[in-house]
Amino acid sequence: MEKRRLAVISNRLPIVLKKEQRGKWQIEPGSGGLVTALGPVLKNRDGIWIGWMGTNAEEEPAGPLLEDLIRRGTRETGYSLKPVHLTKEEVNKYYHGFSNEILWPLFHDLFSRCNFDLSYWPFYEQVNRKFAQAVVSNTDENDYVWVQDYQLILVGRELKRLGLKRQTGYFLHIPFPPLDIFLKLPWRFEILEALMEYDLVGFQTVRDLRNFVGCVRALFNYKVAKEKFMNRILRPDGEVLVGAFPISIDYREFEDLARTGEVAEMAWSIHENLPNRQLVLGVDRLDYTKGIPHRLLAFAHALECYPDMRRKVTLIQVVVPSRVDVEEYGNLKQEIERIVGEINGRFTEVGWTPIHYIYRSLPRQELVAYYKTCEIALVTPLKDGMNLIAKEYCASNIEEKGILILSEFAGAASQLHRDALLVNPYDRQRMADTIHAALRMQDDERQARMRRLRRFIKRHDIINWVNSFLHAGIARNLGDFPQAEFFVPSPNGGVGSDDE
């Protein structure tokens, strides 16, 4: 592939700016699959990453101090970091407001949670323009510009308005909703048109891709041509390539970590402290899309319906703090804690508590120890672009005894549906039955399923994801593009019909 410089544009930079207790500013490396995957590509291509540092411009350090911190970040990551500074009002209206009170719930089909506050849109436009200006100042026409996620849909449009010619790609990490939901958005035409300003647009699943193409056909009447596994949208003034690129994880990193002595020791001590029982694991960012209350209630229902589970099963629910300043997230935390309290109050016996609840961000090693040792993972979002926890659990489950119970509404189901046990998170009875069935599954079936899951994720890892996007985006090479499957649940458990 042609070696072009890569510029990644995302809401957050891969470093976090933190004020220590004594008031001194520090930077810490960000974590997550995107940073791991893009890091080597950016280093290799002398690339840059443009993003926000998660602070308000009024409060963050400035001048030489900031420059020094950024220089340090650049040295440590091995590629250039270019911060975009946002005022407190911009953070409120662009990030908390338009991104997280409108696009986030709407794109997760949770229309009733949207707050269509009219004052948010101008700030969404303004901040996207700021990001586009940062692209103008920091790139040249040979660079490939890759914009990430729902916070920055307008960057491609703003680049064109600024008269800038760049080859651009865009990847949406969250689902794209069906027409009837998308139509509710007061800015539906602007958002759809802006997405078509990129040269390549990637979605997590074929369903998201079809939802997008369905909206384009219905609202703009543009022709759509199929090419290999991609679609070409033919606009009057150009064309856009659109495709499904299911994101993945750094499989090797999780597997290697799971093999270390430290993780083995932690995993052993988890079971040692909770002896003679099977462990069921839930790990989620605190978010209403992750279906945590539904899952807790389904677990309680299982304890009710199947008394043989009592004293023999414990659910470990890890909730990672997220968007802590938003009232709705605070309310969700209280709701979860109330449900956990009620279930534990109702079922606890001497020597057995049904739910262990952890509310904090875990160090990676500890997280992998839970993945490695828990017999069942319950990954049951109401809707999720992909869900990396499902894949991380399998990569870390090196003894291959674990069972993945997965929501049909996670993007990951489109790839893992054959060997995970699929559930509808709104169907409490089936969830309870599935948990009970998983606990009784024989070792050879567990092993066969987990082995196939691991093999699949290893072959389709994050490196593969980056390469396939850049092959389509930079080299326009659609030949070796992996085909993603169209998945809907079917009555006999297979893949739904694919008549397009």
Ligand X SMILES: Nc1ncnc2c1ncn2[C@@H]1O[C@H](COP(=O)(O)OP(=O)(O)O[C@H]2O[C@H](CO)[C@@H](O)[C@H](O)[C@H]2O)[C@@H](O)[C@H]1O
Ligand Y SMILES: O=P(O)(O)OC[C@H](O)CO
Residues that bind ligand Y (CB under 6 A): 11-12, 149, 173, 322-323
CA distance 292 to 407: 12
CA distance 369 to 390: 15
What tokens does 255 get?
């597997």
Q: Got the DSSP string for 39-51?
A: HHHHHHTT-EEEE
Strands 200-203 and 167-171: parallel
Work out whether 50 is an interface residue with ligand X (CB under 6 A).
Answer: no
Question: Would you say 323 or 451 has its CB closer to ligand Y?
Answer: 323
CA distance 2 to 28: 32
User: Considering only residues 282-311, where is the footprint of ligand X by CB under 6 A?
Assistant: 283, 285
Q: Return the percent helix, strand and coil in the chain, to nearest 5.
A: 45, 20, 35
Question: Would you say 67 or 117 has its CB closer to ligand Y?
Answer: 117
303, 388, 423, 470: residue in contact with ligand X (rule CB under 6 A): 388
362 binds, among ligand X, ligand Y, none (CB under 5 to 8 A by kind): ligand X
CA distance 231 to 345: 54
Q: Which residue has the tokens 């099977």?
A: 278
CA distance 164 to 141: 8
Work out whether 32 is an interface residue with ligand X (CB under 6 A).
Answer: yes
Work out whether 36 is an interface residue with ligand X (CB under 6 A).
Answer: no
Q: Which burial class, exposed, middle or buried, applies to 335 when counting CB atoms under 10 A from its CB (0-12, 13-18, 19+)?
A: middle
367 binds, among ligand X, ligand Y, none (CB under 5 to 8 A by kind): ligand X
Q: What three-state secondary structure class fits 102? A: helix
- 354 φ, ψ (degrees, to nearest 5): -65, -35
What tokens does 182 get?
């998308």
283 binds, among ligand Y, ligand X, none (CB under 5 to 8 A by kind): ligand X
Question: Would you say 198 or 465 has its CB closer to ligand X?
Answer: 465
Question: Would you say 173 or 460 has its CB closer to ligand Y?
Answer: 173
11, 77, 317, 387: residue in contact with ligand X (rule CB under 6 A): 387
Question: Would you say 195 or 474 has its CB closer to ligand Y?
Answer: 195
197 binds, among ligand X, ligand Y, none (CB under 5 to 8 A by kind): none
Least separation in angstroms between residue 322's CB and ligand Y is 5
Q: Which residue, among 461, 284, 283, 313, has the nearest Cα to 375 in the 3D structure? A: 313
| Residue 120 DSSP one-character state | H
Find out whether 197 and 233 touch, Cβ atoms under 8 Å.
no
Work out whether 174 is an interface residue with ligand X (CB under 6 A).
Answer: yes
60, 90, 375, 384: residue in contact with ligand X (rule CB under 6 A): 384
CA distance 402 to 422: 15
Work out whether 320 is an interface residue with ligand X (CB under 6 A).
Answer: yes
Q: 7 has which bridge partners?
A: 48, 145
Work out whether 106 is an interface residue with ligand X (CB under 6 A).
Answer: no
12 binds, among ligand X, ligand Y, none (CB under 5 to 8 A by kind): ligand Y
Work out whether 362 is an interface residue with ligand X (CB under 6 A).
Answer: yes
Least separation in angstroms between residue 149's CB and ligand Y is 6
Question: Would you say 97 or 202 has its CB closer to ligand X?
Answer: 202
Strands 238-244 and 403-407: unpaired
Interface segment toward ligand X; rule CB under 6 A; list 76-84, 132-140, 387-395, 401-409:
387-395
Please give the helix or strand (H or E) that residue 346 lies within, else none.
helix 327-347
Least separation in angstroms between residue 247's CB and ligand X is 4
Interface segment toward ligand X; rule CB under 6 A; list 83-91, 115-123, 153-161, 379-387:
379-387
Q: Which residue, among 376, 489, 496, has the nearest Cα to 427 in the 3D structure? A: 489
Work out whether 318 is an interface residue with ligand X (CB under 6 A).
Answer: yes
Work out whether 408 is an interface residue with ligand X (CB under 6 A).
Answer: no
Least separation in angstroms between residue 95's CB and ligand Y is 7
Question: Would you say 31 or 260 has its CB closer to ligand Y?
Answer: 31
Residue numbers at the binding site for ligand X (CB under 6 A): 32-33, 173-174, 247, 283, 285, 318, 320, 361-362, 367, 384-389, 392
